[in-house]
Structures are given as structure tokens and as C-alpha cells.
């Protein structure tokens, strides 16, 4: 099906493929288990934090313009 068989394990589609029966949980787990450990190639460790979208919108609400109003 794929020219590059690893594309079926792409994180953007793997959940859908499992739901559709194209891929099994066992196949996916085996794929992840067999990935090489490349952690020694990392230059720096990064920690990302994300705030929920609703909280972010409360802190910085987008500017709203009404139709028909003149801009100052």
C-alpha cells in the first residue's frame, strides 16, 4: 500500500488507521518498541508547556469589529 511503509505509522493518521482496521494496536506498539534510541543525539533538552485554548482566549481576547461601525 505504501512506498515507504513507515508512513502508516505517522502520528497524524495512526489513530484513524487503528479505528479503521488498517493497523492494529499490536503492530503500532511493536513499531514503537523497535524504534532506535536516538536520545544521545539531542543537543539540549526542551520542556514545552501549553495552556488551554479557552484560558488563553480569556487572557487575550481577539479584537471584535461590528459590521457597519466606522473605525476610529
Question: pLDDT tens for residues 14-43?
Answer: 999 999 999 999 999 999 999 999 988 887
Alpha-carbon dihedral 8, 13, 15, 20, rounded to 10 degrees: -70
C-alpha cell recorded at residue 26: 499490536
In a domain, 17, yes or no: yes
pTM: 0.52
Q: Which domain holds residue 15?
A: 1-34
Domain count, the chain: 1
In a domain, 3, yes or no: yes
Helices (H), 1-72: 14-20, 25-33, 53-59
In a domain, 58, yes or no: no
What is the structure's pLDDT at 1? Answer: 56
DSSP letter assigned to residue 40: G
Angle, CA of 52, 58 and 60, to the nearest 5°: 100
In a domain, 69, yes or no: no
In a domain, 43, yes or no: no
In a domain, 40, yes or no: no
In a domain, 54, yes or no: no
Q: Is the pLDDT of residue 64 over 70?
A: no
In a domain, 18, yes or no: yes
What is the structure's pLDDT at 5? Answer: 78
- Three-state SS for 8? helix
Amino acid at each position: 500500500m505504501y512506498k515507504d511503509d513507515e508512513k502508516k505509522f505517522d502520528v497524524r493518521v495512526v489513530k484513524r488507521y487503528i479505528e479503521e482496521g488498517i493497523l492494529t494496536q499490536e503492530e503500532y506498539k511493536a513499531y514503537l518498541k523497535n524504534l532506535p534510541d536516538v536520545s544521545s543525539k539531542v543537543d539540549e533538552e526542551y520542556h514545552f508547556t501549553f495552556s488551554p485554548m479557552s484560558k488563553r482566549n480569556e487572557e487575550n481576547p481577539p479584537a471584535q469589529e461590528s459590521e457597519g461601525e466606522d473605525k476610529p
